[in-house]
Structure 1
Amino acid sequence: MPAILYLVHDVTDPAVAKRVTMLSAGGATVRVAGFRREGRQAPARLGAGAPIDLGMTRDGQFAQRIAAVARAALGLKQALAGLAAPDIIIARNLEMLALAHRVAGLYRSPPAIVYESLDIHRLLLGSGAVSSTLRTVERRLAADAALLMTSSPAFLREYFEPYGQVSAPVELVENKVLALEGERGVPQLGPRFERPWVIGWFGALRCSRSLAILKDVASRMDGAIEVVMRGRPAYREIPDFDAQVRDAPHLRFEGAYEPEDLPSHYVAVDFCWAIDFFEAGQNSEWLLPNRLYESGAHGVVPIARANTETARFLQARNIGIVLDEGSADDLVARLSDLTKEELQRLSARQQALDASTWTYGVEDCRALVQRLAALAPSQPMEAAA
């Protein structure tokens, strides 16, 4: 099985740990090198050892991140000294792809480079000179990629294909729940089927419009709907998050969580808020978020907005609730008349789906690693002199 060097923008991101777990479960030896976000503590161990520190970055400050990448590029040989030569480098987003080329140049027989793109940054999507330049940089850096890994078909359909960004083969790796012990599925707890209905908004809490909608609905329905939030608030996007939550009736924030805590959190809610306006018209329309698969795996009904990839996912399977606009009025109208029997029918249709809709098991992890292993150069790696 291959040795993988995983280059990441944030070693503290739970999604990075999830991918490392998936690759390790598939049989790969994974070492992680990357940046840590200001104010966060890097994990002591990630994969086969401690993550290799490439420096600190600040959330949302693109120029600072580029400067940090430039500094890291100058010290890569020293930072990676003593690290066994990898067979494959996975670069998680565009700036890491630039570093991947620098790392590959340290070896006489360069490792295969895999470009992992799980979000399309708004700076790549404009019509101005900055966006055009960034797309040109991406095309050039991706020209030698052996594989593109992405998490939603819409990223291919709406960005990579029309812009002609990557010619490499594609591996779709969705944001499914990892179910690595025993049966492939996870406990299908299902909604509580009790009033008041409870909406859970879990994960990256970065959408100020979602918070405003959920606050409004909870207030207007005056106890008939409650909202529970868990995860990481994005204070850059919602600087007064704590004050908003403190002053809102029937809405509460219950802190961060670990993946193993998900069953106990989902058993306490009826619906999952799977709507995002953070990059409306672009990335928010195209992504298939972690919370979609988490709620599905645990039998909780997702709520999506029409004309998004999440809505198309639900509609193709005749499950979930799809709102026309995703507004407070939409949600109040939909939930005010919802009966216990209808919620039971929604949940039953969802739970009748195969577990593979929502989860990846060990065999899926092995299949991914085998796909990656086939990319590795046939000759053994040698460190550059």
Structure 2
Amino acid sequence: MLRVLYLVHDLSDPAVRRRVLMLRAGGAEVTLAGFRRGENRLAAVEGVVPVELGATQDARFAQRLAAVARAGATLRQRLAGMARPDVILARNLEMLALAGRAQGIFGGAVPVAYECLDIHRLLTGKGVASRGLRAAERHFARKAGLLVTSSPAFVEHYFKPLSGVRAPVHLVENRVLELDGPAGDLPPRAKQAGEPWRIGWFGAIRCRRSLDLLAAFTRRMEGRFEVILRGRPARSEFDDFDGLVAREPFIRFEGPYRNPEDLAAIYGDVDLAWAIDFFEEGLNSAWLLPNRLYEGCRHGALPIVLGGTETARLAGLRGIGIALRDARLETLVTRFSAFDGDSYRALHAALARLGPKPWIHDRADCAAFVQRLAALRAPAAEPAPVPSLLASKVDCHDH
């Protein structure tokens, strides 16, 4: 059984739980270590009790760097008694830095995979700080044998032209975990006459511009559309998130949810899924393929996407969803002014024809991912060198 040490920047991130589930379903034994973010309490992830490396705060980059430095100084004690892993999977740049330290603790020959699912704006700039961060990424990634990312656009727009990371790339999209495969086709949809159309915005609620746009839109439509928020608000991005939502007559926040256990219920409660994000506008937001795209499509909620983004490109290739040419209020109002049951049924039929398979990871996908990590190990009969960074082949595992 492959032993994986998974180093993460936020132990309470739902995406961390999904990755642990994926690794374990693929046959790996997982040790989880990372930082507590803010006041989020630590909890076992499917029976995996995490090793806490310290606490960090959202949107405080300098504080996070200091926490990583402290963790590096005490990492040997925190990992004492742990069995030597076969692979270290490091999520985000700060954990990649700690992976090098962990390599030394375990003897230096443990291969490292760098998991990067978001590109922070500081990594893309031309200033001294940005160049310094990219230099740090190149330095720490020199010992990485694999780059795990979730969107081809991250490779095209950042990793190839800017980053200097030369590890082979393995694409793992943010699909829904359904380990035993889909239980059935997409369920039929029906809406009672007179009920509002419901837009679901689920997951990381971090985009103030989206909230402002949806607030203005629902007010303009005078209740024909409602917005339901669920997930984890990034409160550092809002002056008063609860107050903002409370003041909106057609928007409500319904708290966190479990992924994937609650997805069918929460997406079954909405007609459309908001798959637009301006948090890193023109950069990460244009390049990512968000969880909510896959979740909504898997459970029959039509995605609303923004033209010119990787999300819109994928939706267009598959002939689904509603694409806005720009993010102006008038564009949104015009697109939905004549939206009715016939419009919805035609769009939903196009989504239903694809079925659930393009949007899910099953047990075979999990096993393939674990096997890709296992391939980083040197053959048992040979010394275990640090994996070379000279390979440039992109290994895209995409079903």
TM-score, normalised on structure 2? 0.92
> What secondary structure does 1:352 align onto?
helix
Match of 1:189 in 2: 187
After superposition, give the CA deviation of every residue in 1:25-46 in whole Å (9 maximum; x if it has no partner): 0000011000001211011x23
Contact 1:33 1:53 in 2 (8 A): yes
Match of 2:39 in 1: 39
State how far apart, in whole Å, the 2-side matches of 1:329 and 1:204 are: 26
State how far apart, in whole Å, the 2-side matches of 1:248 and 1:4 are: 46
Aligned-partner residue type, residue 218 of structure 2: A
Match of 1:110 in 2: 109
Q: 1:272 to 1:373 in 2, by over 3 A?
A: same
Match of 1:173 in 2: 172
Report the Cα offset of residue 241 of structure 1.
1.2
Aligned-partner residue type, residue 344 of structure 1: R
State how far apart, in whole Å, the 1-side matches of 2:273 and 2:35 are: 31
State how far apart, in whole Å, the 2-side matches of 1:281 and 1:179 are: 32
After superposition, give the CA deviation of every residue in 1:143-184 in whole Å (9 maximum; x if it has no partner): 221100000000000000111521111100000000013x33
Q: 1:66 to 1:322 in 2, by over 3 A?
A: same
After superposition, give the CA deviation of every residue in 1:46-103 in whole Å (9 maximum; x if it has no partner): 3563100100000110000000000000111100011110000000000100000000
Structure 2 residues without counterparts, runs of 5 or longer? 385-399
After superposition, give the CA deviation of every residue in 1:242-269 in whole Å (9 maximum; x if it has no partner): 1111111111111111121111111111
Aligned-partner residue type, residue 19 of structure 1: R
> What secondary structure does 1:146 align onto?
strand
Q: Does residue 249 of the first structure (1) align with residue 249 of the second (2)?
A: yes
Q: 1:306 to 1:86 in 2, by over 3 A?
A: same
The farther-off stretch of 188-197 and 166-175 is 188-197
RMSD: 1.6
> What secondary structure does 2:200 align onto?
strand
Aligned-partner residue type, residue 286 of structure 1: W
State how far apart, in whole Å, the 1-side matches of 2:81 and 2:281 are: 45
The farther-off stretch of 91-100 and 231-240 is 231-240
After superposition, give the CA deviation of every residue in 1:255-290 in whole Å (9 maximum; x if it has no partner): 111121111111111100100011101101000000
State how far apart, in whole Å, the 2-side matches of 1:302 and 1:355 are: 14
Match of 1:29 in 2: 29
State how far apart, in whole Å, the 2-side matches of 1:71 and 1:346 are: 52
Match of 2:359 in 1: 358
Q: 1:110 to 1:48 in 2, by over 3 A?
A: farther
Q: 1:315 to 1:235 in 2, by over 3 A?
A: same
Report the Cα offset of residue 353 of structure 1.
1.1
After superposition, give the CA deviation of every residue in 1:205-262 in whole Å (9 maximum; x if it has no partner): 1100100011111111111111111111111001211111111111111111112111
State how far apart, in whole Å, the 2-side matches of 1:377 and 1:216 are: 57
Match of 1:145 in 2: 144
Report the Cα offset of residue 354 of structure 1.
4.3
Match of 1:204 in 2: 204
Contact 2:298 2:360 in 1 (8 A): yes
Contact 1:272 1:303 in 2 (8 A): yes
Aligned length: 380
State how far apart, in whole Å, the 2-side matches of 1:175 and 1:353 are: 17
Report the Cα offset of residue 188 of structure 1.
2.1
State how far apart, in whole Å, the 1-side matches of 2:214 and 2:188 are: 22
Match of 1:369 in 2: 370
State how far apart, in whole Å, the 1-side matches of 2:184 and 2:128 are: 47
Match of 2:397 in 1: none
Report the Cα offset of residue 109 of structure 1.
5.1
State how far apart, in whole Å, the 2-side matches of 1:301 and 1:109 are: 48
Contact 2:125 2:131 in 1 (8 A): yes
- For 1:1-385, list aligned pairs within 5 A: 1-43=1-43, 45-46=44-45, 49-108=48-107, 110-181=109-180, 183-184=181-182, 188-189=186-187, 191-194=189-192, 195-259=195-259, 260-379=261-380
Contact 2:320 2:347 in 1 (8 A): yes
State how far apart, in whole Å, the 2-side matches of 1:233 and 1:168 are: 34
Aligned-partner residue type, residue 240 of structure 1: D
Contact 2:6 2:31 in 1 (8 A): yes
State how far apart, in whole Å, the 2-side matches of 1:335 and 1:94 are: 41
Contact 2:26 2:370 in 1 (8 A): yes
State how far apart, in whole Å, the 1-side matches of 2:189 and 2:328 are: 23
State how far apart, in whole Å, the 2-side matches of 1:293 and 1:185 are: 16
Runs of 4 or more consecutive aligned structure 1 residues displaced over 6 Å after TM superposition: none
Contact 2:276 2:304 in 1 (8 A): yes
State how far apart, in whole Å, the 1-side matches of 2:99 and 2:367 are: 24
Structure 1 residues without counterparts, runs of 5 or longer? none
State how far apart, in whole Å, the 1-side matches of 2:313 and 2:76 are: 46
Contact 1:210 1:277 in 2 (8 A): yes
Report the Cα offset of residue 356 of structure 1.
2.8
State how far apart, in whole Å, the 2-side matches of 1:328 and 1:50 are: 46
Q: 1:367 to 1:8 in 2, by over 3 A?
A: same
Contact 1:296 1:302 in 2 (8 A): yes
Match of 2:389 in 1: none
Aligned-partner residue type, residue 176 of structure 1: R
State how far apart, in whole Å, the 2-side matches of 1:21 and 1:72 are: 25
State how far apart, in whole Å, the 1-side matches of 2:46 and 2:291 are: 21
